[in-house]
Chain A
Amino acid sequence: MTENNAPARSAIDLLNDGEDINFKRPSQVKEILRRLKKNKGAMIGLFLLIFIILVVILADVIATYEVGVVQIPDNRLAHMSAEHPLGCDSYGRDVLSRLVHGARNSLLVAVAASISSCLFGCTLGAIAGYFGGKVDMLIMRALDIFMSIPDLLFTMVVVAALGSSIPVLIIAMTLAYFTNYVRLVRSGVLNLVDQEYVEAARAGGSSSARIIISHIIPNTLGIILVNVTLNVSSLVIYQSTLSFIGLSLPAPAPEWGSMLASARVDMLRAPLLVLFPALAIILTAFSVNLLGDGLRDAMDPRLRN
């Protein structure tokens, strides 16, 4: 096989050669994982995230739910002890237990809302950017209306109309957060549709849906991933805003945002009460950011070392 000379055998002969080369396509997933493994930051993020997920799964093993909900007046603002490793809050509820069980509520809503807002927003943005013209006009003007209503007001309307529950919260937060994705992805797509490789895909008979899925989304993935990682943490905070005005899960249910909000009252007497839920939120955001950054780099073959 000489590289730069014309093939010695005719092209037809070469193509019709029946020999099975047993050529194996390199797996994209394996390649990405291999590159991800080299990235120390991403691996730290991944392990932290696995740890958090384990806590969510094993919540009942680590601490019972009741201890986190039942109020014991004698234990008000109790210090750390063997029985209550992180102490108790102003109602005499075990902080560790609330933190562990709160992880379920907080993370479920935050992660589900970031995924659904991402999917929803990216789809709309891709459609608007790819098809352009009237479709673009329609989607973008509708989006302007959405964005002109304050997020909080909008969420309040949705929660007030449908009642407060986990699915409703996810829907309400999705609607508050999807707008960013539409604008991001639309501008990314506008840059890409004029690229010759998109035209090449059309010349090969590719459908619009296929072009969006196999060329445009992978090439805009970088900016999408960064946005998702930023959103997970801000959604945890947003949920705490909601519980602060009483729109999140009903009162005794543990949740990081509401823990933070109620600890505020006793901040001078028991500063650690603020620290623990805040640490939990920071740790989650930190691990998601690290992993997201690593994934973005691992998915871009141009950055590989």
Chain B
Amino acid sequence: MTEQRTPLLETVDLKKYFKVGDKSFLHAVDGINMKVYAGETVGVVGESGCGKSTLGRTILRLIEPTSGQILYNGDDITKYNPRQMKKMRQELQIIFQDPYASLDPRKSVVEIIAEYMIINKTLPTKREIYNRAARLMDVVGLARRYATAYPHELDGGRRQRIGIARALSVNPKFIVCDEPVSALDVSIQAQILNLLMDLQDDMNLTYMFVTHDLSVVKHISDNIMVMYLGQCLEFASSDELFEKPIHPYTQALLSAIPEPDIAMRNKEIKVIKGEVVSPIDPKPGCRFAARCEHCHERCLQEAPVLKEIEPGHMVACHLCDK
């Protein structure tokens, strides 16, 4: 892998703390360093509440980061003023989880798709904007007869297609997909995933794919980042991670994937014991320590650092030092 090229998007020690109560902070995103190269897909996995959605939103500055940098083509966008940011929003887009809540119920399909183009005046006339909106409907596989329909008249898959068309309308390079299929039926999930992958090939898009569904992430990602309580525990290419998971948490996650194979019914599943510890002012040491079967003294005192074990495979665990 030639590490010389600049990543399309890079976060440097990105943190987002939410204030809870008087002096406590909820560490939603706690020092994330990640690199996403153009044309790739990075899958971000983790259980509910681990900060993966917050990470996606912080990267787009829909939530302002507490500290750290977000480099887009090497340029720190956290320092951008509102006008520069408005322009940057055409490059960085998002597809939301809930395809109903993310569409204004009072606007027709074509108006929703055209909205970003109208805001940014990407085309000189309304006529051209609506023409392009109609073409975007072709691109995402929505029949044009739905142009005048309202979101509540369509099913989840078609609504999600509207969300995708809206994100594509401003020609973005980087798209955060915030659990785009988790609200959909399994049969429709596959359609939407295939659509996203086709679009990536055609338009050279870069995705950050946030999900809790490991089988989805394997299907779509080049690299996978495993998050736990706001931190990155393991980062590796998709194949590597599924073949050789190193972190105990990743191993447990992977063993919990249901196998659609009767011969595998007696497969041993590593069950993670206990509950996620509170993300509010977490104790020093490894955050997974309380639930880890390999936990020893050092884990409780010193936080493990993300280290490159093999080229492109990074793990944050004290076990790797032995």
Given the interface contacts A26-B148, A200-B102, A204-B170, does A21 sit within 8 Å of B141 by beta carbon? Answer: no
Contact call A7/B138, Cβ cutoff below 8 A = yes
Say if the beta carbon of B3 comes within 8 Å of chain A.
Answer: no
Contact call A200/B96, Cβ cutoff below 8 A = yes
Contact call A203/B94, Cβ cutoff below 8 A = yes
Contact call B106/A25, Cβ cutoff below 8 A = no
Say if the beta carbon of B229 comes within 8 Å of chain A.
Answer: no
Given the interface contacts A4-B191, A7-B198, A196-B102, does A203 sit within 8 Å of B141 by beta carbon? Answer: no
Contact call B108/A15, Cβ cutoff below 8 A = no
Q: Give per-residue flags for A94-138: 1 if the beta carbon is below 8 A from chain B beta carbons, else 0.
A: 000000000000000000000000000000000000000000000
Report B125 CB to chain A, min CB distance, Å.
11
Given the interface contacts A4-B191, A21-B134, A23-B134, does A197 sit within 8 Å of B103 by beta carbon? Answer: yes
A26, A196, A204, A302 pick with most chain B CB within 10 angstroms = A204
Contact call B96/A196, Cβ cutoff below 8 A = yes
Contact call A215/B104, Cβ cutoff below 8 A = yes
Contact call A302/B152, Cβ cutoff below 8 A = yes
Q: Give per-residue flags for B6-39: 1 if the beta carbon is below 8 A from chain A beta carbons, else 0.
A: 0000000000000000000000000000000000
From A2, A14, A210, A300, give the contact of B139 (CB < 8 A): A14
From B94, B120, B130, B138, give the contact of A205 (CB < 8 A): B120
User: What number of A residues sit within 8 Å (CB to CB) of B?
Assistant: 39
Given the interface contacts A201-B115, A203-B93, does A11 sit within 8 Å of B110 by beta carbon? Answer: no
Contact call B101/A205, Cβ cutoff below 8 A = no
Residues of B within 8 A of A22 (CB): 131
Say if the beta carbon of A81 comes within 8 Å of chain B.
Answer: no
Contact call A204/B89, Cβ cutoff below 8 A = yes
Say if the beta carbon of A148 comes within 8 Å of chain B.
Answer: no
Contact call A23/B133, Cβ cutoff below 8 A = yes
Contact call A219/B130, Cβ cutoff below 8 A = no
Report A31 CB to chain B, min CB distance, Å.
8
Residues of A within 8 A of B170 (CB): 204
Q: In the complex, what distance in Å separates the CA atom of A15 from the CA atom of B143? A: 15
Q: In the complex, what distance in Å separates the CA atom of A26 from the CA atom of B110? A: 9
Say if the beta carbon of B111 comes within 8 Å of chain A.
Answer: yes
Given the interface contacts A205-B89, A301-B106, A302-B152, does A11 sit within 8 Å of B199 by beta carbon? Answer: yes
Residues of B within 8 A of A21 (CB): 131, 134-135
From B89, B101, B106, B136, give the contact of A219 (CB < 8 A): B106
Query: Main SS of the interface on chain B?
Result: helix
Say if the beta carbon of A54 comes within 8 Å of chain B.
Answer: no
Q: In the complex, what distance in Å separates the CA atom of A20 from the CA atom of B132? A: 9
Q: In the complex, what distance in Å separates the CA atom of A218 from the CA atom of B195? A: 33
Within 8 A of A (CB), among B171-195: 191, 194-195
Say if the beta carbon of B202 comes within 8 Å of chain A.
Answer: yes
Q: Give per-residue flags for B85-109: 1 if the beta carbon is below 8 A from chain A beta carbons, else 0.
A: 1110110011011100111111010
A6 (CB) vs chain B CBs: closest residue? B198
Residues of B within 8 A of A191 (CB): none
From A6, A10, A299, give the contact of B141 (CB < 8 A): A6
Within 8 A of B (CB), among A139-193: none
Contact call B141/A2, Cβ cutoff below 8 A = yes
Residues of B within 8 A of A200 (CB): 94, 96, 102-103, 163, 166
From A15, A24, A204, give the contact of B136 (CB < 8 A): A15
Give 30 CB contacts A-B under 8 Å. Answer: A1-B143, A3-B141, A6-B195, A11-B198, A15-B132, A15-B139, A20-B131, A21-B134, A24-B130, A25-B111, A26-B108, A26-B147, A195-B101, A196-B96, A196-B97, A199-B96, A200-B102, A200-B163, A200-B166, A203-B93, A204-B89, A204-B119, A205-B119, A205-B120, A218-B106, A219-B104, A300-B106, A301-B108, A301-B150, A301-B152
Binding site for A on B (CB under 8 A): 57, 60, 62, 85-87, 89-90, 93-94, 96-98, 101-106, 108, 110-111, 114-116, 119-120, 126, 130-136, 138-139, 141-144, 147-148, 150, 152, 163, 166, 168, 170, 191, 194-195, 198-199, 202-203
